[in-house]
């Protein structure tokens, strides 16, 4: 099992450009999450999904969109990147809700917006 | 929504000493409190968790305590070793919030040999 795989690992964007981050899991998990990690601010939840075809907003959803067309994939989109979106992005998945099963994280995507 | 505050932001101890990291949460309905460890350049990984029907849980050198009345929980690491050096995150989950996990700001622990 690969677990949770994120692509790409690194990316540099110019302000206004768009991109999509891909998260794939092979553990048949129902729940998937996107977090961003910034120094001194911990892990902040952007969007999450409780099952195929569902999405919900987290703590900091503005400027991001997500889709969960297939159970194993969770895509995070930036339509018009801003320097404030420079961060490390982590995808995670869990079998059921985080209360019943631990989160499994990917290795992260380091995004720089200039 | 839930808000989790974590202290201290950095902690330096000598090898063999104990380390304590504290977190407070705002939503009294929160009932699950995990701790994650993130080594430099790696992904966060679960190290221990506690549910609201338990006051304390131990796993070898690590333990977590929960005070529901005061809405705070703590991570205790005894006999610290250099490999304990990492960033530690506490988190809280509220059942009526869709099962999402809200994290604290993180504590960078440095264990000096």
Q: What's the pLDDT at B88?
A: 98
Residue numbers in B near A59 (CB within 8 A): 1, 102
In terms of Cα–Cα distance, which of A89, B79, A13, B57 is closest to B47? Answer: B57
Question: Does A4 or B2 have the greater pLDDT score?
Answer: A4
Quote the minimal CA–CA distance from B17 to chain A in Å. Answer: 25
For B48, the closest chain A residue by CA position comes to A102
Residue numbers in A near B48 (CB within 8 A): none
Residue A40's pLDDT band (boundaries 50, 70, 90)? confident
Residue B53's pLDDT band (boundaries 50, 70, 90)? confident
Mean pLDDT value of segment B17-25 = 98
Question: Does B53 or A43 have the greater pLDDT score?
Answer: A43
Other CB atoms within 10 Å distance of the CB of residue A102: 16
Closest by Cβ to A107, choosing from B43, B103, B105: B43
> For tokens 């005894």, what's the residue?
B78
In terms of Cα–Cα distance, which of A50, A31, A86 is closest to A78? Answer: A86
Least confident range from A3-7, A19-23, B31-35, B92-96: namely B92-96
DSSP states of A57-102: E-SS-TT-EEE-SSTTEEEEEESS--GGG-EEEEEEEESS-TTTS-
pLDDT in tens, A62-98: 999 999 999 999 999 999 999 999 999 999 999 887 6
Could you list the beta-strand ranges (E) of B2-41: 4-7, 10-14, 19-25, 32-38
Q: What's the pLDDT at B1?
A: 80
Asked whether residue A35 carries a pLDDT value surpassing 80, the answer given is: yes
Q: Which residues of A48-72 are buried (b: 16+ CB within 10 A; e: fewer)?
A: bbbeeeebbebbbbeebebebeebb
A interface test, pick of B101, B105, B106 with most A CB neighbours within 10 Å: B101
Other CB atoms within 10 Å distance of the CB of residue B58: 12
Does A45 sit within 8 Å of B106, measured CB to CB?
A: no
């Amino acid at each position: 099992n690969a677990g949770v795989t994120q692509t790409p690992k690194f990316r540099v964007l110019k302000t206004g450009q768009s991109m999509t981050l891909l998260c794939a899991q092979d553990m048949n998990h129902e729940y998937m999450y996107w977090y961003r990690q910034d120094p001194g601010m911990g892990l902040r939840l952007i969007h999450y999904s409780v099952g195929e075809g569902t999405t919900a907003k987290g703590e900091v959803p503005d400027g991001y969109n997500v889709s969960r067309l297939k159970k194993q994939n969770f895509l995070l989109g930036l339509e018009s990147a801003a320097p404030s979106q420079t961060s490390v992005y982590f995808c995670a998945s869990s079998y059921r809700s985080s209360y019943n099963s631990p989160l499994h994280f990917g290795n992260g995507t380091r995004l720089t917006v200039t | 929504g839930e808000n989790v505050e974590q202290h201290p932001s950095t902690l330096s101890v000598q090898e063999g000493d104990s380390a304590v990291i504290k977190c407070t949460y705002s939503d009294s309905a929160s009932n699950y409190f995990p701790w994650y460890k993130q080594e430099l350049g790696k992904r966060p990984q679960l190290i221990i968790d506690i549910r609201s029907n338990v006051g304390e849980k131990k796993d070898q050198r690590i333990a977590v305590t929960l005070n529901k009345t005061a809405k705070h929980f703590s991570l205790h690491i005894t006999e610290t070793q250099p490999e304990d050096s990492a960033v530690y995150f506490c988190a809280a989950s509220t059942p009526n919030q869709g099962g999402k996990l809200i994290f604290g700001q993180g504590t960078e622990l440095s264990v000096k040999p």
